[in-house]
Structure 1
């Protein structure tokens, strides 16, 4: 594309505008650029991924070739000096930051060099000050365009990663939900062999020669009937076919599970849990929801990095609601991120060098935790406490969590 544009430019200058320029040298520079392209295409395998270093070399060669051509037709006095932005734009869109800086620096250096080392623009003699100013303007354009594209690419990559993480979490939930259908299929498939076992056991009981054999056969009949009853429940209501003891827990057990991974995370911070409730209101047992435990474990992990000395995980209940809250005594949420907290890539976590856990935050933890809690019916809020500290709270209607 660049070679084609250069050829079109020279044709327009020579035959359209009839400017006087060293077209023989210009043609040689364009031919050299075309030759580099042809050689690269010839020696390079068709299916491969170009490395960052090779990409930098290729883009810098393009910049040098463009600059040589521009030096022959006016340098920065030529409006087509803007073509130097093209390789930098490509680098900003596809390469990491360090290679981008290299390409940008080469393009900027060549822009300023063209302000003082070039043949005069055909038929026009511009002062050095103007040409230097044009060079500076081109450098500013390179910086602005590269920065804008780089930011857009980084934000797009971050959002794509956030969506991938969320889709992974949701896919896991879908797989868990699919177990209900699997249970129904298993109930259907196991029904026939259990019926056969029941019939054979009844025949054994009827023809038993000794009391012991008859007792064993009756036990088989009873156990087969029990299995059939379990399968009927699986087929009819698979979501209820769970371990009732494991699938329910008290609020105290919930907050203990939340703080357990972080109880000894730091010698400087004490992590405690309490449960309080309204007077004369029965303490509820709730359904075990992995989303809730995961989300509040994330909030506590974040609080460990910011708290001065204490983190309190509290569960409160009354006749209508259940509230779980994480409160620390740190500096609180920064004002500029408080309004957007819970969105992807909004974070106040310190870097690894200042973090107690050594974790560098990306802002995905709060986003995923908030999303999971809201899927359970919670209303999630973030605010700063007085006189200091951050508070993360989730409130449910009691009927949404309580085991009846």
Structure 2
């Protein structure tokens, strides 16, 4: 697939196109230096008179094209197939002009046209690559008919032939070396572009998966709202019934059942709020330490009996806006650790530069190697449940949306450690307001 197709390239393709055109700029600088050295050797070493003025004008035009290209790239202008085609055509015209003033088709450096054709085949669309073939062929044919021959003083035919062969050897080595260096670099740029495009496609597929999960969760929350409300009303009626309220065994159980139903209703409300369906709610301004304390209190309340050890090393507090989605994914990681290690879970927070770093450790069996290799992919679970493995998938995607990252590893003493790194700027009050949150 060509690196330059239209002017409406994706960001990944535009980045690759800019890298490739910079390679052409470097190649043009090499051509300018090489032509200057060649002219000097022929003029001074061999004593051959060359038309230095017009050849100097061609060199100046090449330098001007390079400077204009670099200036255009600094303005972040888009790179198109047409623009690159014109640049390569200009290079071919400059080579033709230099050959015209130095023997035409008899000049061994005429084979540098092959370099232009090869680069066109790699970088351009099919039609423009064939157009370059026609242009270079026409230029070579024209040089066979029209040129300014050069006369080598005091040289016989044998010496001229040997000199021509030596020039062809130099041209071959130069052509081959430049092709290997620059085609490899351009190929590397194209491979990097393909890797970035594949990553973008993967992210798009994951985000689509998350959207579908969100729709299902929102629908389920709506469906569960009515029966949960009904259960809450029935349990309230039971608690007011004298026969049940006076029973020392049933009364506490009814109260516990009602508390669990209300907890389920709170979870449903959180799901709807995360889906953007709660109305009239303002962002909650809090601080980093209060945000972390709230998470710890919530998990200790929900997972009673677990020794959740919290170490807060964040330092001086900072005001932030509480992010419900972030809170949920952190709780999700803690819950996963509790499932793997019901007796002890470690939760540590610290600040590294402008990042909030959270570490959740457990004393379970650790992650299987294949799960570490595919961290953040859906349906990668160590619990063996069908349809499981979505927890870390959601964690990775939420952190990535906020500009953070997720890491996981097994500990040498047993258990696992999950590290969440989050830029504080993504939770800053100014950043949040600017994004309309």
TM-score using structure 2 length: 0.35
TM-score using structure 1 length: 0.37
